[in-house]
Each structure stands twice: as C-alpha cells, then as structure tokens.
Amino acid sequence: MTATGTESALVDDLLDGRHRALARVITKIENRSPGYRDIVSELHAHTGTADVIGITGSPGAGKSTLVDKLASVYRDRGDTVGVIAVDPSSPYTGGAVLGDRIRMASNVGDMDVFFRSMSARGTLGGLSTATSDAIKALDAFGKDKVIIETVGAGQNEVDIVRTADTVCVLVQPGSGDDVQMLKAGILEIGDVFVVNKADMDGAERTVAELEEMIHMRENPAAGLNTGHHGPVDDEEMAEVALDDPDEEAWNPRVVETVATDATGVDELIETLDEHATWLQETGQIDDRARTRYAEEIRQLIRADTAELLEGVIEARGGIDALAEDVLSRETDPYSVADELVAPVRECVDEELER
C-alpha cells in the first residue's frame, strides 16, 4: 500500500522521533481514519526492535501501579518506554471509560515515556486490531520497551499472546478465584507470573499454588498413576514430552512484588530480560512473530470480507428482509449464505485458475 503525501510526511515525522506525530498516528489508528492502513503499512518495515511486554491479570491485582513502576525503572536505566493501557469500552461511545484516570504518576513530564489509553472496542480481554497497530507505531518510533496493560477479563485475555513477546500474569494473594481463573486457561499463556501485593496474607500459599500449577503444566503426567506400572518417572515422561528435546524450554517464573513501593520490581525486570534473551537465543522470537502475523492476516481477511459482504446484504434489502424470508420458509439460512457469498467465491475461483 502507498500512503499519500500528507500521510508519508506524518510517517517521516514519526520516524524522526516527533512525539506529536506519534500521537496523531495512534489517533488515526484508533479512529480508523482514512489512510490509517497506508500509514501502518509504511511503518511495518521499521518495526521489529521493540521488546513488547504484556501485563494481564484480574481486576484489582495492581496492574496499573506495577506498569508505572516498571516504566520508571526502565527509564532509570536509559530505556525509552511506550505504554498502551487497553480499557473497557464505553457502551455508548466505544471509547476507553477509564482513559481519564491518573495512572503513570511516577513518569509525568517524561517525554521518553509515552502513555496511551485505548478502548478494547468491545473485545473484553482481547486486544483490538487498533491496539496491535499502535504497538507497531511505538516500535517504529524507536521505543525500547512497549508495555501493554489489558483489562482483566479472565480467559479471554489469551488474545494478548498475539501481540506480546513476553506475557506477564498478575495474581493477587489469598484469592482462590484468581487461581481458578488460571486453571480456566490463562495459565497457558504466562511466561512470568507475578504475585503482586506480596506483603498481604496468603502470598506464600499463592506462590506455592502457582509453582505447583506450572509444574503440572510442564509435566502433565506428574503424580498420575499408570496402573500396575506405577507413577510415571522422569525417563517415561521424557518419552511423552511434546517439546523438542533439542530445544531448551522456558520454565515460567514466579516473582513476588509490592508495586506500591517497587519491592521486587528489579527482580521482575531481570526475569523479563532473561525471557527476552531466551527468545533471541532459541529463535522463538521469530516463531512467535510468524504466528502473530499469520493470525493478523487471517483477522484482516475476515474483517475485510465481512465488510464486503455487508454491502452485498444491504444491496439485497438488508439482513432483516433476508431473515424474514427465512422465517416465512421461503428459503433457509444456508441457501441465503451461499447466494450472498457466491460472487466472492466466483472471484476467488477465477484467481486460483490463473
């Protein structure tokens, strides 16, 4: 895709390190303004250097406070930081309903910490395509660290895997619900687990539960009885391991923090750095990016195709008229779908025959 002169000038200003241009580009991306796709396309060649960290977890776990402290420590060591906080969407405007809260108190006035609150656009726990594009803008701008903080919506937060290199899951101590949430599926996405508010009662137990769950994740047959053969031993487990035996796997870490006074934040950053190094040394950084781009392509194709078909539906009198035909038994849903998709299918068939 080729950007217009105005859009190219905006891209040039962003690449020159002008924060106002970065803010304008992200606004265009979030609003899906005309030309935003051309801008993102031009920026793509300049991406791939930022370390993207996802921070997720249930509401009340202290994500915003921890992100604030992480940004502060990163700045102390000379890194530039971009933060995208994905907030719940307003049911009326689609905007971020928590976007006006004060969240980056430690970094106010620091131009090398760029903060943006964005709407999840109705996708609870998931990162919208706009958020993914905003990450690209921050990456192309030259931010060393891009931190994504998501809304706490349980299992749906697996969407963060598609945009983050390292996924950090926050858990509040003494909350059985948090641990049950992890069992529901979010455990699978975590590279680092953080027991925040570790000065509260129940922190040690929560750490122990997490470590046990991680052990079970890495060794699914641990403790299982296999009948007359007895429990599975390490040698037998190696035979059923799904991971490549020649590749050193990443063993998720559990870190304790008290974000309010930055306790444990240095250790957390060391762990995040270790994971970033592991990604580079094992080639997993490219594998994750490849998976991410494949899903992004599929998502864009689905969205673009759906938009094209919406036009076909309107040309046929609208969805209500089609539903009425089905209700009156004049046709059926499959026949309607086949008829609407037929023009697209014909074009695709012609393309494949070339």
Structural domain contains residue 342:
yes
Question: In terms of Cα–Cα distance, which of 163, 159, 155 is closest to 136?
Answer: 163
Q: Are 342 and 220 in a shared domain?
A: no
For residue 296 the two structure tokens come to 């992004």
Note whether residue 166 is domain-resident.
Answer: yes
Residues 326 and 335: beta-carbon distance below 8 Å: no
Q: Is residue 288 part of a domain?
A: no
Whether residues 169 and 200 fall in one domain: yes
Q: 260 with 316, same domain?
A: no
> Which domain covers residue 111, as residue numbers?
47-282
The per-residue pLDDT for range 64-78, each reduced to its tens digit, is 999 999 999 999 999
User: Is there a single domain that holds both residue 57 and residue 169?
Assistant: yes
Measured from the Cβ of residue 350, the count of other Cβ atoms closer than 10 Å reads: 9
Calculate the CA dihedral of residues 158, 162, 165, 170 and round it to 10 degrees: -20
**How buried is 218 (Cβ within 10 angstroms: 0-12 exposed, 13-18 middle, 19+ buried)?**
middle
Give per-residue pLDDT as tens, 291-324: 889 988 998 898 899 989 999 999 999 999 999 9
The pLDDT mean for the chain works out to 82
Q: Are 166 and 51 in contact (CB under 8 A)?
A: yes
Q: How much of the chain, in percent, has pLDDT values that exceed 70?
A: 75
Same domain, residue pair 40 and 114 = no
Extended beta strands in 219-344, E state: 253-256
Q: Please give the Cα distance from 261 to 268 (Å, whole number).
A: 14
**Domain containing 271 — which CATH number?**
3.40.50.300
Do 210 and 61 belong to one domain? yes
Let me know whether 123 and 267 are in one domain: yes
| Cα 152 from Cα 234, distance rounded (Å) | 37
pLDDT for res 276 = 97
Q: Total domain count for the chain? A: 3
Would you call 331 helix, strand, or coil by DSSP? coil
